[in-house]
Every structure is written in structure tokens, then in C-alpha cells.
Structure 1
Amino acid sequence: MTNQSAAESSTHVALEVWSDLVCPWCWIAKRRIEAAIAAFERPHDVTMRMRAFELDPTVPVGEGMGVAEHLGRRYGGGVEGGRLMNARVSEEASGDGLSFDWHTAVRANTFDAHRLCELALEMGGPALQCAAYERFHSAHFSEGLAIDDHEVLQRLAAEAGLDERRVAAVLAAEDYAAEVRADEQLARSMGVHSVPFVLANGHAAVSGARSVDDYLAFLRGVVTDRV
């Protein structure tokens, strides 16, 4: 390896981002990480792979309960109480160009959607996987769609750029279930119990939704071995 290629390879940053599709802070973090990568001195040296995480794998498929109603029941205050709980995250999201509609958002089991995100990774690499994540996030938070409904998932996946026949085959079987479980097991092995969680080059980590500047500093620190 030449000195130049060695220097170039040393700047590579491989990000692994554990995220759930119904986690508002995860969508915010994804957008901010992408903005940090764009502002990074060598953005083409950064790759970002999304990894599956389920905040609540026990949510019944097809339940359809409103998110605000669920929060109100769990923490008190009814539907309005649930909406008030989401006021802060909505304010944060608006600064990142994201719109949350808590009046229509419904709880959903995300296992099948995560399986489709694994399919997207196989079909088109991290770029297509991120497109699938983006489409599912938007459907859940902004459009009030149930992302555990197979008909909805079929349409959303196609809109994200996935092959419709492959999507139908995955939804009709258990394809990529092992990959989703492996992501979750890897998170548990590292003591990760909440998301978003970012791992860089297998050793540097940051948790929670940080600012764009924080993520940019994180990327620079990884390259210079400061984190």
C-alpha cells in the first residue's frame, strides 16, 4: 500500500446506526448525521449502515392505537396529555425540516419493516437502505400510516425504490428475520438499551440525538483518534 492510499484508508469512517422506525429521536438523529456527513471534509469516506432495534417488540401487529392515546394511557392525561408529551420532540423536529402529525400517528410493530430495510441493504447498499428508513419514518410520523400493515409496506417499499416482487416474497415469508435479530442481539451485547446509538469503526460510540455540530465533531474525532 502506498503512503497516499494508506492515508486515504485511515480517514474512512464506517457508521453503524441502531434505530427504530417509530422512534422520533431516531429520525431526527438520522437527518442530523446525514447533515454532518455532508459538512465533513471527506464525506465520500463516510458510510452509514442502519441497524435494527425495536423499542417495543411486543406491540401487536395491526393494533392501530394512536400514539398519543397510548402515551396518555401509559403516563396519564389521556390523548391530550400524550400530545403534550410530544410537544418538545415536534419542536426539535421542525428545526430539521421534519413534520410530525401526532393526531394521526399510530403505534405499529416494526419487525417486518426492519426486514424490508435489510432487503434494501442487500439490493442497493446503504443508500437504498437509508431511503427505505426515510420512507417508513415519514409514513409513520407524518402520514398516519400503519407500518406493520403488509399492503402499506408493499407500497412504501416500492416508493423507496425496492423491487415489488422481492418485497412481496419477503413479506410472505420470514426472510431477513435472522438479520434483524442479529442486529438487536449485537446491541444487547454492547449494553445498548435505547436508540439512537451510533458506532464508528467498531470502537467509538455516541448515543442519543445530538446536534449536527456534535456529530461533525464526532466524525472528525474518529478520524484523528480523539474518540
Structure 2
Amino acid sequence: MRIEIWSDIACPWCFIGKRRFETALNDFEHKDDVEVEWRSYQLDPSLPDHYAGTETEYLSQVKGMPADQVRQMFDHVTQQAAGEGLNYDFDSILVANSFTAHRLLHLAKTQGVLNQAQEELLSGHFEQGRDIGDVDYLAEVAQRVGIDAAEARRILSTEEFTAEVKSDIAEAQALGANGVPFFVIDRKYGISGAQPPEAFAQALETAWGESQRLPVLAGPGSGTDSATSGTGGDEAVRDGAVCGPEGCD
């Protein structure tokens, strides 16, 4: 079973959703048969490399949200994060465009350390007040997860992995995602938002059950009337006899 997760480093619910999904997956009986692929998304591509203001000012001045509403939202998200063992500090957040950091994640993916790099960046942004738009910090993260810092700097100074990030974003939009986190299971089920672990657990069980059933294109169980469908070349389909628990046709 394959699960794709679109996420933005600058999205507070994405870190919470990651923890909740991982809780459900860890308890899932068939977790060893689940392939998880993290994909890039940007909530605000128009954000400058760095915004000269706080997260509260950004949302209230740029997005037009009342400051009181922003603070209440931060309090609520902080409480939810604490429930997942995360220590959010919105007062220390440095507002920056996440595109370059997503390019680093694609580099990390090629090195097999995507999850580690993602954890570092999310924690750095929401818990430590680090600058996800700063190449020095991104090189530091790269080194911590086992990527040569000089190589990371070189790559981030080019356009490498730009196409991959844009492709991820375009694909999410094509699938109908209008926010993140956005989870897609086997390209059959979509789950939007940082749902409770119980919701993810139910989705995993449902999708796994569906993945184990072989679709029947014709005959009993196909959902169509094989005795009346088609003519001519369909005779073999209409005349196909089967045996079942109660005997044979």
C-alpha cells in the first residue's frame, strides 16, 4: 500500500498531522507493507525569502486576519501540538519562504534521509525559531542528517530540484488538494488535515481491505449483469460458468 503525504515546512498542522499519522501507522498490523512518500507543497508561494515581521504580523497584516484571532489560533494550535509532544513557540518563528527548504528535502530524499531532514526543519521552524530560508541553516541541517554541507550549499545555489518541488505542488492541485497536510492512499482515498490517530487508523484498515480484493471485470461479483452485457465478441464473457460455495452453474 502506498501513501503520499503533501506537506509544507511552514504549516503548523503538518507537523502535528505527521505525529498523528505516525502513531496510527506504528500500530497498524501491516505497517511493514506500507510505503510512505512525503511530497512538497507551499501554502504561500508569494511569500518573500524573508518577511520582516512576526508570524502574528504576517497573518494579520498580509493575510488580513485580526490580531486577536491570530493569537487565539496560535494558542489552540500550541495546545494541540503539546498533545503530540511538540513544543511550539510562535513568538520565535522566523517567517520565510519554504521553497529552498523543500529543495533540500528532495536532496535528502535522494540520500535516503528525507524523514530525518523533515523532522529537523519542522522542529527548527516551530520549536527553535530557526530560519528555514537561510542557506547556512539548511546546510547545517544537511550535515546533521549525513549530507555533505558543502554539497548542499552548492546544490541550493543552483536550480537543482526546483522542477521536482513544482511538480509536487502541481500534482497536489490536480488531485484537488486545497490545503495541507493532505494524505492520499493508493490514489483511491484522500484525507485532508491533521486528523486524530483513530481516523488515520480507520483509513488504513479500510484501504488495506480494499487493496486485498481483486476487481472482477466480468461474471458474478463484477457488479454487472454478464448475461445481458454486450453482443458478438462478448459471448465468452456471458457464457463463463463458475463454481461457488453452493455448487456449480
Q: TM-score range by the shorter chain?
A: 0.7 to 0.9
Question: What secondary structure does 2:210 align onto?
Answer: coil
Query: 49-58 vs 156-165, which deviates more?
Result: 156-165
2: CA distance between counterparts of 1:107 and 1:164? 23
Percent identity between the two aligned chains: 33
Question: What secondary structure does 1:48 align onto?
Answer: strand
CA contact (8 A) 1:15 1:201 kept: yes
CA contact (8 A) 1:135 1:156 kept: yes
Question: What secondary structure does 1:86 align onto?
Answer: helix
CA contact (8 A) 2:139 2:150 kept: no
Q: Deviations over 1:70-89 (max 9, x none)?
A: 22323123xx6533221111
- Is 1:109–2:94 an aligned residue pair? no
Counterpart position of 1:121: 109
- Is 1:75–2:97 an aligned residue pair? no
2: CA distance between counterparts of 1:95 and 1:161? 30
What is the letter of the counterpart of residue 32 of structure 1?
Answer: R
Counterpart position of 2:193: 208
Q: Where do residues 14-33 of structure 1 align in structure 2 (5 Å cutoff)?
A: 14-33=2-21
1:136 to 121, 143, 148: 121
Q: Where do residues 49-198 of structure 1 align in structure 2 (5 Å cutoff)?
A: 49-73=37-61, 74-77=64-67, 82-124=70-112, 128-198=113-183
Query: 34-43 vs 80-89, which deviates more?
Result: 80-89
Question: What secondary structure does 1:103 align onto?
Answer: helix
CA RMSD of aligned residues (A): 1.5
2: CA distance between counterparts of 1:81 and 1:207? 23
Counterpart position of 1:47: 35
1: CA distance between counterparts of 2:183 and 2:146? 25
1:217 to 192, 202, 211: 202
Q: Which has the larger radius of gyration?
A: 2
* CA 39–84 in structure 1, closer or farther in 2 if over 3 Å, else same: same
What is the letter of the counterpart of residue 140 of structure 1?
Answer: H
1: CA distance between counterparts of 2:198 and 2:29? 13
2: CA distance between counterparts of 1:195 and 1:181? 15
Counterpart position of 2:218: none
2: CA distance between counterparts of 1:64 and 1:49? 34
* Greater length-normalized contact order (CA 8 Å, ≥ 6 residues apart): 1
What is the letter of the counterpart of residue 129 of structure 1?
Answer: L
